[in-house]
Amino acid sequence: MPYLVGVRDRPGCEQIRKTFEGKHLDYLDSRVDVLLGAGALLSDDGRTPQGGLFLLDVDDRSVAEQFIAQDPFLTAGLFEIVQVTRWRKGYFAKERLV
């Protein structure tokens, strides 16, 4: 079963996000082997990042935890909250699976 990793940014850390965005995206590019999806959580204005979601195709919690532990955003101190949760596909890519 896949894992969902949800993260929330620390308040007032916009500069960390700007500084490490390139390294973060390079890291995600290097891990496309396990990424089913990823993206920023935005405020209602649609422009202000507040965190992110990563849907990982891994079967082991420790692999999901290691994935996020190596993200440059995390190592730079951007994330205030990190939550790793096992996820069961019910609907995926417009298709019902259960």
Class of domain 3-88: alpha beta
CA 85 remoteness from chain centre:
12
30 CB-near residues (< 8 Å, 6+ apart): none
User: What does residue 39 show for φ and ψ, rounded to 5 degrees?
Assistant: 180, 165
What ranges do the domains of the chain cover? 3-88
21-74 tens-digit pLDDT = 999 999 999 999 999 999 999 999 999 999 999 999 999 999 999 999 999 999
Q: Residue 43: phi, psi to the nearest 5?
A: -70, 170
Q: pLDDT of 8-32, one tens digit each? A: 999 999 999 999 999 999 999 999 9
